[in-house]
Amino acid sequence: MLIRISLILAIVAALAAGTLNFVVVKDKIDTLVTDRNTQRDGRISAESERDKTKKELVKTQGELKQTQQQLADTQTERDKAVATATAQTKRADDLSDKLAKTTQERDDSQNELAAYKASGFTSEQVVKLGKTLKSQQDAMTALNGEKVVLQHAITRLQARLNIYEGTNEDIALRADLKGKILVVDPKWDFVVLDIGDEQGVLLNGEMLVSRDGKLVAKVVVRSVEKGRSIANVVPGWKLGEVIEGDEVSPAHPAS
């Protein structure tokens, strides 16, 4: 009987030890599985971050290449504008010299005509001198017109140079420049003006919008064509709704 009890106790003890070992082993297995899953998730996350970083690097390299190309194109355009402005300035100086010479020749011709009249020369001689004087006056008028065109071109080129060189100087427009708004887009805050390159509008020039003598807004020119231009409303300067027919005038008139 004692032996049987001992055997039962031994069996119970063995079962208890086995159960305890099973619990300990299971805890270790669960811990290992958890560690494995954590390491796997970390590896997957790291690989995902690596792939994302590679994609962002490729994108950044592409954007850098595009920016470098745009910079090169801008520098080329600036150099062309500088060369054109230099040539136009030289031509304007040459025209000024020719205009001064023509003016002097006209004055000389007028003095000679007065002298001929006073001296009692024949009418044929006076007519011939008059034709010479008229020819000189026509030439001077043509030179004056060409000089105005060149000065206008130089002003436009200087405005472009200010853009390429990042100059923040206010662009002066003709003091007598006046126009009206033809079209208004309230969604994108841009307007179309009935004045353009022929009237002296310059790119990035600022103009005041008024109605009945009251300031409504300020716009900045973003595109210039032959007889019209497109401008954006300047943020913070919109004092009222801009409508078709509103008048525009230079915000920075030339002195």
**pTM for the model:** 0.41
pLDDT of 44: 78
Give the mean model confidence (pLDDT) for residues 170-197. 92
Spell out the domain ranges in the chain: 1-169, 179-250
The angle formed by the CA atoms of residues 133, 135 and 137, to the nearest 5 degrees, is 70
- pLDDT for 20 equals 56
Strands 214-224 and 206-211: antiparallel
Mean pLDDT of 133-144: 71
Percent of the chain with pLDDT over 90: 26
Question: What is the rounded average pLDDT of the residues 137-155?
Answer: 63
In 3-state terms, what secondary structure has residue 208? strand
Instruction: Give the CATH number of domain 179-250.
Output: 2.40.10
SS3 percent helix, strand, coil of the chain, rounded to 5, is 65, 15, 20
**CA 3 to CA 9: how far, in whole Å?**
10
pLDDT band of residue 117 (cuts 50, 70, 90) is low
What pLDDT does residue 206 have?
94
Whether residue 214 has pLDDT greater than 90: yes
The larger pLDDT score, comparing residue 213 to residue 78, is at 213
pLDDT of 22 > 70? The answer is: no
Element (H, E) at 69: helix 2-119
For residues 22-28, give the mean pLDDT.
62
Question: What token pair was written down for 159?
Answer: 């405005």
What is the predicted pLDDT for the residue at 191? 95
pLDDT digits (tens, 9 = 90+) for 31-47: 776 777 777 777 777 77
| Structure letter (DSSP) for residue 172 | P
Over the stretch 83-99, which tens digit does the pLDDT of each residue have? Answer: 887 888 888 788 888 88
Q: Give percent of the chain with pLDDT exceeding 70.
A: 72
